[in-house]
Amino acid sequence: MTPRSDVLTESRTKRGDAGDGRALGARITRVDGLAKVRGAATYSLEHRPADLAHAVLVGSTIAAGRVRRVDQSEAEKAPGVRLILTPDTIPALKTASNWLGERPSEGPYHALTHEIGFQGQHVAAVVADTLEQAVEAARLVTIEYDVAPAVADLRDSRAGAGTEVEAMTIAWGDAEAALEAAPAKIRREYTTPREYNVPIEPHGLIAEWQDEDHLTIWEPSQWIAGMARTYAEWFEIPYENLRMISPYIGGGFGSKALAYSYGAIAAQAAKLLGRPVKLAVTRPQTFTAYGGRAETRQEIALGATLEGKLLAIHHRAANETSTTGTWVERCGGTIAIMYATPNFSSKHRVVPVNTVLPSAFRAPGENPSAWGIESAIDELAYEIGLDPLAIRLLNYAEHDHQANLPWSSRQLREAFAAGAERFGWSKRSPAPRSMRAGSQLIGWGVAAGTYPMRRTPGQAIVRLLADGAVEVLSAAIDMGQGTYTILAQTAAEALAVPVERVAVRLGDSSMPWAPVGGGSQLANLMVGAVHKAALAARDELIGLALNDPKSPLRHLQANTLPVGDGRIGDLEIGAFLAAIGRDHIEVLRDTFAENGKSADDPFKTYTTITGGRTTTDNGYSAHSWCAHFIEVRVDEDFGTVRVSRVVSAFDCGRIFNPKLAESQWKGGIIQGIGQALLEEGVVDRRHGRVINNNLGDYLIPTNADVPDIEVISVGVPDFHATMLGGKGVGEVPIVGVAPAIANAVFHATGKRIRDLPITLDKLIG
């Protein structure tokens, strides 16, 4: 625990709880909200440079094989067409390093290739003066293929067993022997389909070259530094020459953290044409231009005493990956830490199929892992005749059994208690099919969720201006999690100014470093960096006031001076700065030391994912936790399922702005409702393609699918987890929602659905 944290906690109790709109912890309205409700927030693709050309992608209609010939003769003749890129004509780039900072090869990178690994893979790009002309001309490109047999998905008989990922193996005790000897046991398989992030802002970019080796990219980005690195390496220009701008992001949920091949294509076209190029990925293309959550399969065996105490957990998982790359949807995370068990074994395999490489979607790994264990423990409860909440408390993990370390904090018991109380769990009738209203079967289910703390240093500039205003600068991003707002709160807190006097500028690679806005880490770590920089700015101001020969406050011979509301001592900051001949004070601070990291290589720290701390590096195991209580109503005749009530309690440590945290929690729960009941990439096995590649057929929750949702915070400040006591907020709320719904559906109907989503055909079949 750092002394700073104490100071802050103290000042918070003095001011923040009074709700004067100043402190961290207050329910402050989103500072970027005004621009957003007015339509004045300009997202990256809304930048309008002069002489903009438009690029449109042409995708492969086959899932595997080779492009034999691209006929572009008709397209070339179409009005307005300026450039057509194909595997035959696109110039090679240099292969960029991956997010570990490793270069897979020293060879060239071709953003378009003759080899086809999945349906929808980009085969050509047409650039024209207007979007309409480019769309029209793209239709005139014809492609001939040599078709090869494709592996459609995990369930395709040709997929095989894939390969084991040894780094994912987790084991202690002897799970197999303990399972064999256990008096009670279950063994079940749980599966999840391909799922897609579907941010409402589609992907895309505008690329503009200032000269031969200066490139600016306007692109929605969860990771300014990482994406800038990729572009700079592709084009072999110095990192500093690459400017990446992403002021607002229209949702990402994991999908906007990397530069994808369409980015290379657009930047390539801009270079060849010598004019800015905009490439907006179409909604159908968003299903194949980058990957969503991989399809997963888990076999779980639980062994227990007759009283329900776990003796063994045995877990075998697999996920699909692409034929050209490896994505591990790590299914062993939640299952290894959620419950106390003396014996544990988990292994994971990846199976290549003809799909775009899957990628991160909210709570990657933890989400399917919780789907498995939180369904299985529920099945065990019924098997043994225990209440589903009671079995979770009976097997409560008092410490991290995997790491054999204490928790940094774990208020999960409190979450169960608070959620159960608000939900009215004690009034639950235990038997399946025992609660109903007319033709509606009612079911109540519970499940828990968790997400590990990821922590990377951050950096920020804080400026004190002559008019008493404050500026905060960082290359961090805000995709809706509230970064703008809580960083304004942080600076306001430390400098005792109203939040309205703080201007936060984010999303620009020319600003101080920030790591990836993913893994629920960004808001917490940037709060730490901004807080440190703001306190340093205050100290510098006081130091100048006490020591500068021209300072009008020097005669006071004070040890310190109060700073706040645009004043130092009884002087306006502007007047003071004028007196000492300055127009602002600026400090830059980073949090390498606070995170136990060396500051030697900031480039590597911020442009790769290797700069982060582990979840357990300070002798504590740090995670966010939650408990979901969900009611469903299932129509007995039609098998339709509606979620009618949700109460969820969260331990995310200290909450910097409850209003924004509650919004994120509800949003995560709603995505979990989608995952449970609606979302599934439907694969046409004949052609190896996802056929519901649009928002009318890939169903996400609408307003009418969502009931009232009550969220409760049971967290306490956790200074083992982060500098200022917060834990991750954004990922954990989706974790455990789908199993809570499946558990409720079982309670309502007596039918256990182990294959997501829970659709009516599975219930009435």
Give phi and psi for 396, each to the nearest 5. -55, 130
* Distances 173 to 295, 343, 567 between C-alpha atoms, Å: 30, 4, 63
Candidate segments 101-109, 394-402, 603-611, 704-712, binder of another protein by CB under 8 A: 704-712
Binding-site size for another protein (CB under 8 A) equals: 62
Judged by beta carbon, residue 588 or residue 706, the one nearer another protein is 706
The residues in 188-217 that bind another protein, with binding defined as CB under 8 A, are 197-202
Sign of CA dihedral 279, 283, 289, 290: positive
Cα distance between residue 728 and residue 721, in whole Å: 10
Under DSSP, is residue 167 helix (H, G, I), strand (E, B) or coil?
A: helix
| Least Å from the CB of residue 207 to another protein | 17
Of 251 and 569, the one with the shorter C-beta distance to another protein is 251
Tell me the per-residue interface mask from 613 to 652 with another protein, x by CB under 8 A, - otherwise. ----------------------------------------
Give the separation between CA 324 and CA 326, rounded to whole angstroms.
7
Cα–Cα nearest to 324, from 492, 104, 481 = 104
Alpha helices in 39-89 (DSSP H): 73-77
Give the burial class of 143: count Cβ atoms within 10 A of its Cβ; 0-12 exposed, 13-18 middle, 19 or more buried: buried
Residue 757, preceding peptide bond in cis (omega within 30° of 0): yes
346 binds, among ligand FES, another protein, none (CB under 5 to 8 A by kind): none
Q: Which residues bind ligand FES (CB under 6 A)?
A: 200, 251, 480
> Quick one: 141 or 198, whose CB is closer to another protein?
198
Cα gap 503→416, rounded to integer Å = 40
Binding mask 232-271 for another protein (x = CB under 8 A): ----------------xxxx-x------------------
Interactions with another protein, residue window 271-300 (CB under 8 A): 280, 282-283
Q: How wide is the angle at C-alpha 683 spanned by C-alphas 679 and 686, nearest 5°? A: 165
Inter-CA distances, 739 with 412, 445, 632, Å: 17, 8, 12
Binding of another protein by 364 (CB under 8 A): no
Q: Is 704 in the site for another protein (CB under 8 A)?
A: yes
Residue 442: how many CA atoms within 13 Å on its side-chain side? 12
C-beta of 39 vs 765, nearer to another protein: 39
User: Cα(548)–Cα(554) distance, rounded to whole angstroms?
Assistant: 7
Output the CA angle 732-707-746, nearest 5 degrees. 75
Q: Which pair of tokens denotes residue 193?
A: 């389909």
CB of 34 to ligand FES, least distance (A): 15
Of 246 and 459, nearer to another protein (C-beta) is 246
Out of 271, 399, 422, 659, point to the residue binding another protein (CB under 8 A).
659
Quote the least distance from Cβ 697 to ligand FES, whole Å.
14
H or E element that contains 157: none
Maximum Cα–Cα distance across the chain = 86
Measured from the CB atom, is 250 or 564 closer to another protein? 250
Encode 241-250: b = buried (16+ Cβ within 10 Å), e = exposed: bbbbbbbbbb
Which amino acid makes up residue 587?
V
Name the phi and psi angles at 297, rounded to 5.
-140, 135
Query: Does 664 sit near another protein (CB under 8 A)?
Result: yes
Least distance to ligand FES, CB of residue 251, Å: 5
Work out how close the CB of 142 gets to another protein at its nearest, in angstroms, rounded to a whole number. 21
Q: Which is nearer to another protein, 310 or 676 (CB)?
A: 676
Provide the minimum distance between the beta carbon of 527 and ligand FES in the complex, in angstroms, as a whole number.
Answer: 22
Residue 15 binds which entry of ligand FES, another protein, none, CB below 5-8 Å type-dependent? none
Rounded least distance, CB 695 to ligand FES, Å: 7
Stretch that binds another protein, among 584-592, 604-612, 667-675, 751-759 (CB under 8 A): 667-675
Judge whether 731 counts as a catalytic residue. Answer: yes
Q: In this chain, which of 113, 142, 324, 663 binds another protein, going by CB under 8 A?
A: 663
29's contact among another protein, ligand FES, none, with CB below 5 to 8 A by partner kind, is another protein
SS3 for 676?
Answer: helix
Closer residue to ligand FES, CB minimum distance, 40 or 200: 200
Q: Which does 320 bind (CB under 5 to 8 A by kind): another protein, ligand FES, none?
A: none
Q: Which is nearer to another protein, 157 or 702 (CB)?
A: 702
User: Is residue 51 near another protein by the rule CB under 8 A?
Assistant: no
Minimal distance, residue 248 CB to another protein, in Å: 7
Residue 742 parent element (H or E): helix 737-749
Binding to another protein by residue 660, rule CB under 8 A? yes
Output 253 or 260, the one with its CB closest to ligand FES.
253
Query: Which residue has the CB atom at the shortest distance from ligand FES?
Result: 200
Name the residue nearer to ligand FES (CB basis): 72 or 664.
664
List the catalytic residue out of 219, 329, 594, 731: 731
Whether the Cβ atoms of residue 624 and residue 727 lie closer than 8 Å to each other: yes
Beta carbons within 10 angstroms of residue 104's beta carbon? 12
Within 10 A of 189 (CB to CB), how many other CB atoms are there? Answer: 12
User: Binding segment for another protein among 366-374, 405-413, 478-486, 615-623 (CB under 8 A)?
Assistant: 478-486
440's tokens: 């509606």
Tokens describing residue 487: 């960083």
| 41 near another protein (CB under 8 A) | yes
Which of the listed partners (ligand FES, another protein, none) does 249 bind, with a CB threshold of 5 to 8 Å by partner kind?
A: another protein
Residues in the chain, overall count: 765
CA-CA distance, 61 to 42, in Å (whole number)? 35
Q: For 384-423, give one letter per residue: b (16+ CB within 10 A) or e.
A: bebbbbebbebbebeebbbbebebbbbbbbbbbbbbbeeb
For another protein, the binding residue among 238, 438, 581, 696 (CB under 8 A) is 696
Tokens of 135: 């769309």
Beta carbon of residue 200, minimum distance to ligand FES (angstroms, whole number): 4
- Interface contacts to another protein, rule CB under 8 A: 29-30, 32-43, 46, 48, 79, 130-132, 136, 197-202, 248-251, 253, 280, 282-283, 479-482, 659-660, 662-664, 666-671, 694-696, 700-706, 708-709
| Active site residue ranges | 731
